[in-house]
Amino acid sequence: MQTRSPAPRKDEGLQKKIQLGKRMFRIAENTQHYSEEDYKQAEKQFIKYCVLEERCAYWVK
C-alpha cells in the first residue's frame, strides 16, 4: 500500500492574510478603545474590508 503525503492546505494563503490583518489591527488605539466583544467584531470587519477585499487606502499587496 502506498501512502500519500498530505496535500498542501488550500486555504494557507487565506490564513496568512487573516493573520496579517489581525496584526495590523492590533494597535493600542484599537485595543484600548473597544470592549473585548466589540474588538472581535471590529477586527473581523477590518479583516474583511481592508485585507480580504483590499479596500483600505494603506493596503499594500
Residue 2, in any domain of the structure: no
pLDDT of residue 61: 55
pLDDT of residue 57: 75
pLDDT of residue 42: 97
pLDDT of residue 30: 95
The per-residue pLDDT for range 8-60, each reduced to its tens digit, is: 677 898 999 999 999 999 999 999 999 999 999 999 999 999 988 988 876 55
Residue 61, in any domain of the structure: no
- Number of compact structural domains in the chain: 1
Query: pTM of the prediction?
Result: 0.73
Residue 1, in any domain of the structure: no
- Exposed / middle / buried, residue 45 (Cβ in 10 Å: 0-12, 13-18, 19+): exposed
Residue 44, in any domain of the structure: yes
The boundaries of the domain holding residue 44 are 12-52
pLDDT of residue 60: 56
Q: Which residues contact 61 (CB under 8 A, 6 or more apart)?
A: 54
